[in-house]
Amino acid sequence: MKNHSKIPLLLFISFFFIIAILSVSGIFSKPDQKKGIQSVSTPKKTLGDDKIHFSTSVDNTYYYDNDYVYLYVDLQAGKVENARERTPLNIAIVIDKSGSMAEKNKLDYVKRAVDYIIDEVGPNDYVSIVTFDDNVSVVQRSEIISDKYDLRDKVSHIKPGGFTDLSDGMFEGYSQVDRSYSRGYVNRVFLLTDGLANRGITDVYDLVNKVRDKNRRDGITISTFGVGADFNENLMADIADYGKGNYYYIKNSSDIPDIFASELRGVHDMVGQGTKIKIKFPDEYLMLNKVFGYPYDISGNEISIDFKDVFSEQTKSVLVKFRVRKKIDRKLNFESELSYQDVNSDFRTVTSNDEQFVEPTSSKEIYNRSNNETVVQNISVFESNEMMENALREADNGNYDRAKTEIKSAQDYLSGQMNQVAPSPEMRRQSENMEKYNKDLESADTKSDEEKKEMQKSGKYDNYNSRKKNQ
């Protein structure tokens, strides 16, 4: 005789199991309630070796008569755990000792910062020190420091001088690093100045191009430190960008030692060297409009972004904007490749690949509910960042009313985006930066010339750090 009492229980279990499957598949999941827009979050992906996490995403996997397509690239280095020893250094400290460095004890604070670096360097680190004003002097040639007391004594005797031959000082720093260049080392120049280049090469574009060439040919990176109100912040940021290093605006001279220490700590644990991303896109349908975040090269339908050195827990993000050439009538693919040399595994080359697709749809509803929220959030940050750059340029030219109009447009744009997607921390930070700069612009007419310079440097530095996702 069959036991029929078990049938209801089996039916209940089967029904519950079906509901669970449907819930996981998303049929019963809730759409984004904000403004009725449905969005898709970017899944976290780890491709290839886990020392550097690499992922790409498009803003929407469908095309529906839109003018632009965005590809977002995210690179995140893992934390270096239980490292046997930190990455060795090969650094040149290039110090502006022109007459203005005597003001507000700038040179004294630089000496303190250099003393800190001397104390921190290890038995495998190469250090050189270069100074410049009208002339360039090599205080310490690149070598492993055997007598730290003697080197500190040399630094203590640096005195302020005349004008600012920034280019020759910088190139001598490159030469010193090149003397001791070694794979697996942090081969970097630290350039500190408080003024404008008024001797040697003074053309901004010429200087930046030479830095780009140096980086490509020799693989030496450079970080820049601008002090006070009179240096050229656009030049310092561009040198750092094309030299694959970092840019710092130092408003108060007393902050110099801490900022130098921060830079030194940041390069102690290298994860990848020669790090590069290549992106192939369908140029029959799309044309490159802009790359946000980092300098790039393009050849045909291939975009190349060279990061050089990547350090523990570092994040680098790039947003690529494509203009639609003609109506998309077939499935398009984007092929991306990350490559780097793993410095902790005998410099073996690690390669990871990722692919994204965009296909046409005749349904606006399908298009609207397929927005990738993470990418849209980053579009909002990068686009508003670019709009703030426009406002900063107008203010540089003294067009404060036009600058106010530009920053208001940027604020309105970002505010509208924050009503469409859940605001990310980066979106909120960008909003705060623009609000702060807008308040500065409102009082620009009452500011002194020095206060206006500081306003511009602070605004640009905030925008720079937002673009680089620096904390």
* pLDDT on residue 83: 57
Residues 276 and 239 occupy one common structural domain: no
Of the three residues 369, 399, 427, the one that is the final residue of a domain is 369
Considering the domain architecture, whether residues 303 and 387 belong to the same structural domain is answered as no
What is the pLDDT confidence band of residue 204, given thresholds at 50, 70 and 90? confident
Total domains in the fold of the chain: 3
What's this model's pTM, rounded to 2 decimal places? 0.85
Contact (CB, 8 A) for 60 and 96: no
What digits encode the pLDDT tens for the residues 394-423?
A: 999 999 999 999 999 999 999 999 999 999
Q: Is 29 part of any domain?
A: no
Q: Read off the pLDDT of each residue in 369-382 and give the average, rounded to a whole number.
A: 96
CB contact at 8 A, 250 and 236: no
Between residues 261 and 392, which one has the greater pLDDT?
392
Residue 198's pLDDT is 80
Residues 6+ apart with CB under 8 A from 286: 69, 322, 323, 324, 325, 332
Distance of alpha carbon 456 from alpha carbon 393, whole angstroms: 9
Say which CATH number the domain at 130 has.
3.40.50.410
Tell me if 263 is assigned to some domain: yes
Helices 106-120 and 256-266 sit at what angle, rounded to 10 degrees?
Answer: 30
Residue 82: pLDDT band with limits 50, 70, 90: low
pLDDT of residue 9: 43
What does pLDDT average to over the chain? 87
Question: Which of 268, 285, 315 finishes a domain?
Answer: 268
Same domain, 130 and 246: yes
Q: Do 302 and 174 belong together in one domain?
A: no
Tell me what pLDDT residue 355 has.
96
pLDDT of residue 230: 84
Q: Note whether 51 and 75 are within 8 A (CB).
A: no
Q: Of 7-11, 115-119, 235-239, which gets the smallest average pLDDT? A: 7-11
Whether 21 is in a domain gets the answer: no
**Assigned domain for 401 exists:** yes
Residue 119, in any domain of the structure: yes
One domain, residues 95 and 158: yes
| CB 87 within 8 Å of CB 185 | yes
Q: Token pair for residue 225?
A: 């430190």
| Domain enclosing residue 360, as ranges | 34-81+271-369
**292 bridge partner residues:** 319
Asked if residue 111 and residue 61 are part of one domain, the reply reads: no
User: Are 220 and 76 in a shared domain?
Assistant: no
Per-residue pLDDT at 50:
62
Task: Verify that 264 and 277 share a domain, yes or no.
Answer: no
* 344 pLDDT more than 90: no
Q: How confident is the model at residue 58 (pLDDT cuts 50, 70, 90)?
A: very high
Write the CATH number for 342: 2.60.40.3670
Q: 3-state DSSP call for residue 441?
A: helix
**pLDDT value of residue 203:** 84
Q: Kindly provide the residue ranges of all beta strands, DSSP E only, lying in 312-428, ordered along the sequence.
A: 315-324, 332-342, 348-360, 371-372
| Least confident window among 69-73, 80-84, 393-397 | 80-84
Asked if residue 264 belongs to a domain, the reply is: yes
Are 252 and 131 part of one and the same domain?
A: yes
Q: In whole angstroms, how far apart are CA 135 and each of 50, 93, 97, 176, 212?
A: 48, 16, 10, 16, 24
pLDDT tens-digit map of 20-36: 443 434 433 333 333 33
Q: How confident is the model at residue 98 (pLDDT cuts 50, 70, 90)?
A: confident
Is 27 a member of any domain? no
* 108 lies in the same domain as 235: yes
State whether 312 and 323 are in the same domain: yes
Asked if residue 16 is part of any domain, the answer here is no
Q: Using alpha carbons only, how large is the chain's radius of gyration in Å?
A: 26
Residues 421, 400, single domain; the answer is: yes
Domain boundary among 268, 288, 308: 268
